[in-house]
Amino acid sequence: MTGAVRKREYEANKLAKRLRRQVGQAIGDFKLIEQGDRVMVCLSGGKDSYGLLDLLLALRDKAPVDFELVAVNLDQKQPGFPAQVLPAYLAGRGVPFRIVEQDTYSVVKRVLPEGKTYCSLCSRLRRGVLYRVAGELGATKIALGHHRDDVLATFFLNLFHGGQLKAMPAKLVSDDARHVVIRPLAYASEDDLRAYAELRQFPIIPCNLCGSQENLQRQAVREMLREWQRRHPGRIESIARALTEVRPSHLMDRALFDFVALKASGVAIAEELHEPLFAEG
C-alpha cells in the first residue's frame, strides 16, 4: 500500500468518525432518538439524506438504545426521475422502505409562474404527504437531512427577510402536535457530507425542480457564508455556536425577558462587568 493510499484511507476514516460523532452528539444533546423509536428517514436521493441514513445505520449497531429505521421517498413525478435507483439501493442495504408516489411536481408548476421560488410550496406539499405516511407507518420520529449550513442559511434568511431570529431547530413538534421532527445532521457541515457522499459513492438523484432556480435567496446566503468562511476561517463554527449560546437579556424580545420589571439589585453579575458602556464602530 502506497503512502498516498494510506493517507486517503486515514482521511476517509477521520471523516466518517467525525460525522458519526457529530450525529451522536446531536442525538444526545437534544434526545433525538429514544428507546423503542421507529424513525422514518426521509430520503430524497440527495447527498444529505443518503448520508443521514448511512450514519444512522452505523450508529444503530452501537447505540445504547434499540430503535428501528424505515426509509421513505416521495416520488414527486418530476420528469426523468429514475424511479428504480432508490428501491435498488435500499434493498441492497437491507433497509425497510416505502416509495410514495404523488404528483406534487405538476401542482407546483401549475400554481407558481415561471421564475418564482418553488421551494416554499414544494416543501409544504411534501411535508403534508410525509406526515400522513409517518402516521401510517407508526413512526415516532421523522428524520430530515438538514445540516449545519442549512440551519445557518435559514437563520440569515429569517434575519434579512423575515425580521425574526429564527432557524431550523434540531427537534420540533409539528403544527398539528402529532409528529416529532428531528435533524440529526444539525452539527454536520455540508462540505463533510459532500465528501462523505463521494467516499460512499451514493447514487445521487438531482432535483430538477428547484435545482434550475439559481437565483434563490437561499443560494445567495450560502454564497455569503462560503465567502465569510474563506476570508475568515472559523466564522461559520462561531456563528453555529452562537445559536446554542443565546442571551435573552441581551436582546430586545420582551416576551423572552422581563425588561419592565428589571431593577438594580446591588449584586454584580460577572457577565455584566465586561459589557461596554457605548456601542463600538
Residue bearing the bigger pLDDT, 214 or 122: 122
Examine the pLDDT at 164 and tell me if it is beyond 90: yes
Residue 18 reports pLDDT greater than 90? yes
Alpha carbon of 242 to those of 48, 117, 246, 256: distances in Å? 23, 29, 7, 17
Burial of 175 (0-12, 13-18, 19+ CB in 10 A): exposed
The residues spanned by each domain of the chain are 3-242
pLDDT value at position 275?
Answer: 52
Mean pLDDT on 181-197: 97
CATH-assigned architecture of domain 3-242: 3-Layer(aba) Sandwich (3.40)
How many other β-carbons are positioned within 10 Å of the β-carbon of residue 235? 14
Range 177-192 average pLDDT: 96
Tell me the C-alpha to C-alpha distance, in Å, between residue 134 and each of 69, 70, 98, 127, 231.
12, 10, 11, 10, 43
Q: Is the pLDDT of residue 111 over 90?
A: no
Share of the chain above pLDDT 70, in %: 85
Query: pTM score, two decimals?
Result: 0.86
Burial of 20 (0-12, 13-18, 19+ CB in 10 A): middle
Q: Looking at per-residue confidence, does 168 or 81 come out higher?
A: 168
Would you state the pLDDT for residue 24? 97
Predicted local distance difference test score (pLDDT) of residue 281: 43
pLDDT recorded at residue 6: 81
Q: What is the pLDDT of residue 1?
A: 64
